[in-house]
Amino acid sequence: MNNEQQQTEKETLEPASMYAIMAKLFAHVSKAVVDRFGEEGRQAVMEGVRTFGEERGRDIARRAAAVGEPNGIENYLPNYDMGRSNLFEYETVYHPKEIEQTFTKCAFAEQWKKDGMEEYGILYCHMIDPAIARGFNKNFEVVHDQYILKEGTCHFRFQMKDEEPSEG
């Protein structure tokens, strides 16, 4: 066995990341729903992601409030609910009234690509970040104009419509 084969064998014995497992779960459930219900199923999956995202956003706002911070743009990422590991590579740039993020590596997208499930993973990608932002603050919007699953990079612009923190 050569070194490359040994490395591949070792990687298959490593425990899967929770990100990979959840990406697989989402893709398989989404595929089953879309296969059975067609476009109506696709819309239902996206609606489920939207409500899940808004719930996460409300929880991020609660996390900020618990430490005495309003749900303004400056408190979104510091109180975010999902830790980042080396399975994600990204750059964050802060602008007035905007946070710009560019991801070049995403554990979810990598798993969906590996499994040939991009068609189902993109349903999550289209909905999740705008929904989280809206749940965090109704005036918080996301422009998500590039996707790893399509262009090879995810590009986000998180924008506050006004500066007044609001209730979810």
What mean pLDDT is predicted for residues 19-40?
98
pLDDT tens per residue across span 42-52: 999 999 999 99
CA distance linking residue 18 with residue 98, whole number of Å? 30
Please name every residue paired with 142 in a beta bridge, in sequence order, or none if there are none: 158
Residue 77 confidence class, pLDDT cut points 50, 70, 90: very high
Q: Is the pLDDT of residue 61 over 90?
A: yes
- Provide the 10 A C-beta neighbour count for residue 55: 13
Beta partners for 92? 101
With cut-offs at 50, 70 and 90, classify the pLDDT of residue 83: confident
**Residue 25 pLDDT greater than 90, yes or no:** yes
Query: In the block, which residue shows the tokens 């905007």?
Result: 98
Angle between helices 118-136 and 18-66 (to 10 degrees): 10
Q: Which residues pair with 90 in a beta bridge?
A: 103
Instruction: List helix spans (H) across 67-155.
Output: 107-115, 118-136
Widest Cα–Cα separation across the chain: 62
CATH of 19-160, one of 3.30.1330, 2.60.120, 3.30.1380, 3.30.479: 3.30.1380
pLDDT in tens, 130-141: 999 999 999 999
Q: What angle do CA 110, 130, 141 make, to 5 degrees?
A: 135
What kind and span of H or E run contains 106? none
Q: pLDDT (tens digit, 9 = 90+) per residue, 155-164?
A: 999 999 975 5
Domain range annotation of the chain: 19-160
Q: Ramachandran region of residue 82, left (φ > 0), alpha (ψ -120 to 50) or beta? A: beta
How far apart (Å, rounded) are the C-alpha atoms in residues 27 and 122? Answer: 9
CA proximity to 85, closest of 105, 101, 110:
105
- Residue 133 amino acid letter: A
